[in-house]
Amino acid sequence: MRIAFYAPLKAPDHPVPSGDRQMARLLIAALEAAGHDVELTSRLRSWDGQGDRARQARLQGLGAALARRAVRRFEKRSARDRPQAWFTYHLYYKAPDWIGPQVARALGIPYLVAEASLAHKRAGGPWDLGHRATVAALDQAAAVILLNPTDAEILPHQDRLWQLDPFLDPAPYRAAAAGRAEHRARLADDLGLDTEAVWIVAVAMMRPGDKLASYGVLAEALHKLADRPWQLILVGDGSERPEVEATFAWARPTAQGVRVHFAGALEGPDLARLYAACDLYAWPAVNEAYGMAFLEAQAAGLPVVAGRSGGVPVVVRDGETGLLAAPGDSAAFAVALGALLDDPVKRQGFAAAAPAAVAARHSLAAASRRLNRILHGVVP
Is the same domain home to 252 and 223?
Answer: yes
Is the same domain home to 316 and 334?
Answer: yes
Is the same domain home to 24 and 112?
Answer: yes
Q: Domain range holding 304?
A: 171-361
Torsion of CA 368, 373, 375, 380, to 10 degrees: 150
Determine the Cα–Cα distance for residues 380 and 371; give it in Å rounded to an integer: 15
pTM (two decimals)? 0.91
Q: How far from chain centre, in Å, is Cα 155?
A: 20
Is the same domain home to 244 and 293?
Answer: yes
Is the same domain home to 236 and 108?
Answer: no
Is the same domain home to 63 and 186?
Answer: no
Pairing mode of beta strands 304-307, 280-283: parallel
Burial class (CB in 10 A: 0-12, 13-18, 19+), 51: middle
Is the same domain home to 242 and 113?
Answer: no
Is the same domain home to 312 and 181?
Answer: yes
Q: How far from chain centre, in Å, is Cα 179?
A: 26
- Read off the CATH number of the domain in which 319 is found: 3.40.50.2000
Per the CB < 8 A criterion, the answer to whether 249 and 217 are in contact is: no
- Which residues, including other chains, have CB under 8 Å from residue 269's CB and lie 6 or more apart? 172, 176
Is the same domain home to 155 and 177?
Answer: no
Burial class (CB in 10 A: 0-12, 13-18, 19+), 53: middle
Sign of CA dihedral 244, 151, 169, 297: positive
Is the same domain home to 100 and 216?
Answer: no
Per the CB < 8 A criterion, the answer to whether 232 and 225 are in contact is: no
Of 194, 193, 201, 206, which Cα lies nearest the Cα of 176?
A: 201
Determine the Cα–Cα distance for residues 36 and 316; give it in Å rounded to an integer: 30
Of 148, 179, 152, which Cα lies nearest the Cα of 164?
A: 148
Helices and strands, number each (H, E), in the chain: 14, 12
- Which residues, including other chains, have CB under 8 Å from residue 246's CB and lie 6 or more apart? none
Encode the chain (380 residues) as per-residue pLDDT tens digits.
999 999 999 999 999 888 899 999 999 999 999 999 999 999 999 999 999 999 999 999 999 999 999 999 999 999 999 999 999 999 999 999 999 999 999 999 999 999 999 999 999 999 999 999 999 999 999 999 999 999 999 999 999 999 999 999 999 999 999 999 999 999 999 999 999 999 999 999 999 999 999 999 999 999 999 999 999 999 999 999 999 999 999 998 776 678 999 999 999 999 999 999 999 999 999 999 999 999 999 999 999 999 999 999 999 999 999 999 999 999 999 999 999 999 999 999 999 999 999 999 999 999 999 999 999 999 98
Is the same domain home to 156 and 219?
Answer: no
Determine the Cα–Cα distance for residues 85 and 110; give it in Å rounded to an integer: 5
Is the same domain home to 126 and 208?
Answer: no
Domain count within the chain: 2
Per the CB < 8 A criterion, the answer to whether 47 and 82 are in contact is: no
